[in-house]
Structure 1
């Protein structure tokens, strides 16, 4: 089981070494902006490294929305990030499930997801796995509650799609972590990555506020149980920089008995 952290994108491999991490996740462009990612000068070094790479799509991406001015650029941006992520040898591109606006039909949002994969298929498909991530808030979200997730997966049935399970988002979104992996896999058939985060917000608060594993409102043992059941690589998106994330990685290794990255 490979364990790592979300890091600054300037030198991801140095960040991995500082945390004794076997995997890293990072952005390829401004997470709050619409600019396409640029080719990286260190692409070959990243591809050749013995560190698993994951790329997170910008937060602005929302392919579910009925708003054309957001949905259409989101499709293009998602495909652009997938292409750039594949160029550095990333194992997956994580993207939030998105939402529709109040009063809009959520069924259209699910179909917009289908159209996103159809749009990508027109140019040969996504060049690496796209991992849809569950989200913490919103009454009109496509991937907050499991009933919505089931409808999303039904809409995407003709396409290969992966899933990223965030423990903070699940807890804050109102999904009990106990037995969650089995309930998710019954819908998606897979969990490709776990975002192991504690939550500053209470259960069902809808607050997307991450905390270190020994803090927050989730029993850390529940996070460990999710990871153990999922059997997937792990990324911590926790605060505290190198020290905070290194401590979270060490805690998980100790609980899971995986040793260090050098072992």
Structure 2
């Protein structure tokens, strides 16, 4: 179980060293923008590093929506980020599950996800695993509640798709953490990455507000139980910069009985 953190993209390997991290996650472009990533000058160094790399797709991507002005650019941007992530040797590209607007048929949103993978296949494929992440809020979300996640996986069954479980999102989204790993794996068959975050918001608040692992409203022991059960690589997306994340990584290693 490799443990790391979401870091500034300028020099991810230096950020990993500062945190004593075995993995890093970062953006390749503005997370609130629509620009395709430029090739990185340090791509060779990133590919050769003994650090597991994960790339998070921009937050603006929503391939589920019925709004053509967002859905179609989202498909293209997701494919562009996948290509750029593969070029630096990333192990996965994480993307939020997305949503449809109020009054729209959620079934169409699920089918739009299917069309996204079909679109990528027609273009030669994503080139690395795409990991769909559960989200904290929204009543029309494709991956907030497990019943919606099951419907999403039903339509993506013919495609190679992975899953990223965010502990804050699950808790704030209204899913009980005890036994969550088994319930998720019964749907997806896999958990490829854990976003290990405590939550500033209350249970089922719908608030995507991360806290450090020993703070927040989730019992830290319960977080460790979920992470241990998942047995997947871990990325903390917690506040406090280098010191805060370094402490969270050290806490996890201690609780899981392992060293760097």
**What TM bracket, shorter-length normalisation?**
over 0.9
**Corresponding residue SS for 2:169:** helix
Q: Which residue of 2 is the match for residue 202 of structure 1?
A: 202
2:52 is equivalent to residue 52 of structure 1:
yes
User: What RMSD in Å do the two structures reach over aligned CA positions?
Assistant: 0.3
Q: Which residue of 2 is the match for residue 151 of structure 1?
A: 151
Distance in 1 between residues matched to 2:109 and 2:5, nearest whole Å: 31
Q: Which residue of 2 is the match for residue 222 of structure 1?
A: 222
2:83 is equivalent to residue 89 of structure 1:
no
* TM-score, normalised with respect to structure 2: 1.00
Distance in 2 between residues matched to 1:195 and 1:61, nearest whole Å: 19
Q: Which residue of 1 is the match for residue 135 of structure 2?
A: 135
Q: Which residue of 2 is the match for residue 119 of structure 1?
A: 119
Q: CA deviation at 1:258?
A: 1.6
Q: CA deviation at 1:123?
A: 1.1
Distance in 1 between residues matched to 2:193 and 2:88, nearest whole Å: 18
The number of residue pairs the alignment matches comes to: 260
Distance in 2 between residues matched to 1:112 and 1:104, nearest whole Å: 13
**Corresponding residue SS for 1:157:** coil
**Corresponding residue SS for 2:226:** helix
For residues 228-260 of structure 1, the C-alpha deviation after alignment (integer angstroms, 9 at most, x for no partner) is 100000000000000000000000000001212
For residues 85-129 of structure 1, the C-alpha deviation after alignment (integer angstroms, 9 at most, x for no partner) is 000000000000000000000000000000000000001111000
Q: Which residue of 2 is the match for residue 170 of structure 1?
A: 170
Unaligned ranges ≥5, structure 1: none
Q: CA deviation at 1:148?
A: 0.0
Runs of 4+ deviating beyond 6 Å = none
Q: CA deviation at 1:73?
A: 0.2
**Corresponding residue SS for 2:151:** helix
Q: CA deviation at 1:4?
A: 0.1
Q: Which residue of 2 is the match for residue 102 of structure 1?
A: 102
Q: Which residue of 1 is the match for residue 250 of structure 2?
A: 250
Distance in 2 between residues matched to 1:259 and 1:87, nearest whole Å: 30
Q: Which residue of 2 is the match for residue 63 of structure 1?
A: 63
Q: Which residue of 1 is the match for residue 193 of structure 2?
A: 193
Distance in 2 between residues matched to 1:258 and 1:56, nearest whole Å: 27
Distance in 2 between residues matched to 1:105 and 1:98, nearest whole Å: 13
Distance in 1 between residues matched to 2:246 and 2:48, nearest whole Å: 23
Distance in 1 between residues matched to 2:222 and 2:73, nearest whole Å: 38
* TM-score, normalised with respect to structure 1: 0.99
**Corresponding residue SS for 2:163:** strand
